[in-house]
Copies of this chain bind each other. A is one copy, B any other.
Amino acid sequence: MRYLNTYIEIKNRLSECGLKATHQRIVIYECLAKSFNHPTAENIYESIKPNNPSISLATVYKTLDTFVSAHLIHKVFSDDGIVRYDAYTHPHSHIYCINTKEIIDFEDENLNRLIQGYLKRKKIKNLKIKDIQLQILAEKVNIKEKVSIK
């Protein structure tokens, strides 16, 4: 499922998860859903602060943790020791730009099928595979331009 778009969708999903649909939760989720740069809790806090000065950093941490437990969002793997988040829960991979520190979403159904097929043919015992993501370590050639994948 892709990230939730509207207030009603978010509200409904929260209720389905047995969670109260508070204003803070809606704001935090919307902020993350609009962010494609896999922000930290602190990033989100700074982002919502101008329009929501009373939401505390502790609330942001607590709320993100609640969302992760409810599978509304995912944590992103990183190696910098800071937890980052992703509202886009549909299976996808990430491109880690070494020089710009960006983490870019990357999605390719064909490649997924290729890898899954290969792993199925491999004899792996005592393991149940849930998800496969690629970690593509790369460098942006021109820092000012966007990465383009076709």
Write out, one digit per residue, whether chain A residues 112-135 have a CB within 8 A of any chain B CB (1) or not (0): 001100110011111111111111
**Is A149 within 8 A of B122, CB to CB?**
yes
A98 at the interface (CB under 8 A from B): yes
A82 at the interface (CB under 8 A from B): yes
Copies in the complex: 2
A11 at the interface (CB under 8 A from B): no
**Is B134 within 8 A of A133, CB to CB?**
yes
Q: How large is the interface on A (under 10, 10 to 19, 20 to 34, 35 or more residues)?
A: 35 or more
- Give the residue among A80, A127, A130 with the most B Cβ atoms within 10 A: A127
Stretch at the interface among A18-26, A28-36, A46-54, A71-79: A71-79
**Is B138 within 8 A of A135, CB to CB?**
no
Q: A76-B79, A111-B115 are in contact. Are A139 and B128 (CB under 8 A)?
A: yes
**Is B134 within 8 A of A134, CB to CB?**
yes
Distance to closest chain B CB from A6 (angstroms): 28
**Is B141 within 8 A of A137, CB to CB?**
no
Residues in B with CB closer than 8 Å to A146 are: 126
- Complex Cα–Cα for A123 and B119 (A): 25
- Complex Cα–Cα for A82 and B146 (A): 30
Instruction: Enumerate chain A interface residues (CB-CB to B < 8 A).
Output: 75-83, 95, 97-98, 108, 110-111, 114-115, 118-119, 122-142, 145-150
